[in-house]
Amino acid sequence: MSATLVLVQILNGLQLGILLFLIAAGLTLVFGVMGFINLAHGVQYMVGAYFAVAFYGLTGNFLAAMLLALASALALGLALEFLVFRHLYDRDHLDQVLATFGVILFLNQATTVIWGPAPLIIPQPEFLSGSIPLVGGLLYPVYRLTIIAAGLAVAALLWFIVTRTRLGMLVRAGASNPDMVSALGVDVRRLFMIVFGFGAMLAGFAGVLAAPIFSVEPGMGDNMLIVAFVVIIVGGIGSIRGSFIAALLIGLVDTLGRSMMTDILKLFMEPSAANQIGPAIASMLIYVLMAAILFFRPTGLFSVGRAA
């Protein structure tokens, strides 16, 4: 495999990692601050993508579609919070998991009913189309680079909010000790809603970004969600920094693994055997990585105070 191909895969890995981070950040915040495990978070991602497609169809403008999609995703998130999630905050994790599972079933089916089961297409935005030359004659799509840049910008924004603002301080405090924060007179309900809404928008944003390059179909959020879980387990629940590093790590491992595993195996075994088990092993890599990390650090790389 040539160096340029490896570089392409590295960039693709970073791009996947960034998307994972956007999803995982909301997930880890919501769990860290509210103790609420939300299986339906992946649906926010899916909804972002679908609304982007729908509004693009209406407006013909990618940016307009994105803004409208974000607003709708936020609205849907808050509606879900009001209708379902707030009844679950005091329940145990089993109940939360089952109820949010029900939400996924319903919304995946609703998406199929409204838009049909076939994958939808949305073109990449005009002003971001084409490729730019990078090192060694390599051409890499502008759009994908934009995703990476956008994700880094959001990460920086999050870092700023969490470490430099009062809201961020409340979030960090809430992550280690929500009762204390409440006892200090902070309206915890509102804090929850802000955290939740923000997380929903992050996931929706990831969905919008992913729409032109991934397949927009019902259930697209489910697998991303589970990988996002892997990210926050590896990074440490409640830690945004942990989610960032873990997301990039997992994005890279998954992408590089899938593209290189079969070739690596061919160094040791028959090509036919390598072709058989290469893809299987590649698909298992990130989970094996997760297991290995947990073996040495059961609470993840950067875990924060709150007990799971």
Partner 1 sequence: MSEAALSGAADRSVAATETILHGYLVSASIFLTLAAVPFMGFLGPEGFILPLVTRMMILALAAIALDLILGHGGLVSFGHAAFVGLGAYAAAIMVTEGVTEVWAILAVVLLVTAMFALVTGYVCLRTSGVYFIMITLAFGQMVFFAASSLSAYGGDDGLTLWDNASLFGTGWLADDRGLFYVTLAVLVACFLLVQSIVASRFGRVLRAARENERRTASLGVDVFRVRLAAYLISGMLAGVAGILLTCQAEFVSPAAMAWQRSGELIFMVVLGGMATRNGALIGAIAFVALEHILSDLTHDWKLIFGPLLIVIVVYSRGGLAALLRRITGGAVRV
We find the least distance from the C-beta atom of residue 88 to partner 1, in angstroms, to be 7
We find the least distance from the C-beta atom of residue 156 to partner 1, in angstroms, to be 27
Give the contacts of 151 (CB within 8 A, at least 6 positions apart). Answer: 15, 18, 19, 21, 22, 209
State which H helix or E strand residue 131 sits in: strand 131-133
H/E/C letters for each residue in 203-235?
HHHHHHHHCCCCCECCCHHHHHHHHHHHHHHHH
Of the candidate spans 3-11, 50-58, 141-149, 290-298, the one that interacts with partner 1 by CB under 8 A turns out to be: 290-298
φ, ψ at 67 (rounded to 5°): -65, -45
Closer to partner 1 by Cβ: residue 182 or 299: 299
- Which residues 224-253 are close enough to bind partner 1 by CB under 8 A? 226, 229-230, 232-233, 237
Q: Look up residue 118 and give its amino acid.
A: A
The yes or no reply on residue 22 touching partner 1 (CB under 8 A) is: no
Of the candidate spans 138-146, 171-179, 199-207, 218-226, the one that interacts with partner 1 by CB under 8 A turns out to be: 218-226
We find the least distance from the C-beta atom of residue 49 to partner 1, in angstroms, to be 20
The yes or no reply on residue 267 touching partner 1 (CB under 8 A) is: no
28 and 240 Cβ atoms separated by less than 8 Å: yes
Dihedral (Cα; 152, 21, 14, 235), 10-degree rounding: 110
Residue 175: both structure tokens together:
């992550």
Of the candidate spans 45-53, 71-79, 142-150, 289-297, the one that interacts with partner 1 by CB under 8 A turns out to be: 289-297
The single residue among 75, 78, 97, 152 that binds partner 1, judged by CB under 8 A, is: 97
The CA distances from residue 112 to 48, 106, 216, in Å, are: 15, 10, 11
Of the candidate spans 46-54, 56-64, 193-201, 295-303, the one that interacts with partner 1 by CB under 8 A turns out to be: 295-303
The single residue among 290, 301, 302, 304 that binds partner 1, judged by CB under 8 A, is: 290
Number of alpha helices (DSSP H) and beta strands (DSSP E) in the chain: 11, 2
The yes or no reply on residue 216 touching partner 1 (CB under 8 A) is: no
The yes or no reply on residue 284 touching partner 1 (CB under 8 A) is: yes
The yes or no reply on residue 109 touching partner 1 (CB under 8 A) is: yes
We find the least distance from the C-beta atom of residue 287 to partner 1, in angstroms, to be 4
The yes or no reply on residue 157 touching partner 1 (CB under 8 A) is: no
Cβ atoms within 10 Å, residue 59: 13
Return the SS3 of 281: helix
The yes or no reply on residue 177 touching partner 1 (CB under 8 A) is: no
Cβ atoms within 10 Å, residue 175: 25
Residue 92 CB burial class (10 angstroms; 0-12, 13-18, ≥19): exposed
The yes or no reply on residue 98 touching partner 1 (CB under 8 A) is: yes
We find the least distance from the C-beta atom of residue 229 to partner 1, in angstroms, to be 4
The yes or no reply on residue 135 touching partner 1 (CB under 8 A) is: no
Count of positions on this chain that bind partner 1 (CB under 8 A)? 48
Q: At what angle do helices 3-34 and 240-266 cross, to 10 degrees?
A: 140
We find the least distance from the C-beta atom of residue 24 to partner 1, in angstroms, to be 11
119 alpha carbon, distance to own chain's centre: 20
Site for partner 1, rule CB under 8 A: 31, 37, 84, 87-88, 91, 93-95, 97-99, 101-110, 112-113, 222-223, 226, 229-230, 232-233, 237, 276, 279-280, 282-284, 287-288, 290-291, 294-295, 298-299, 307-308
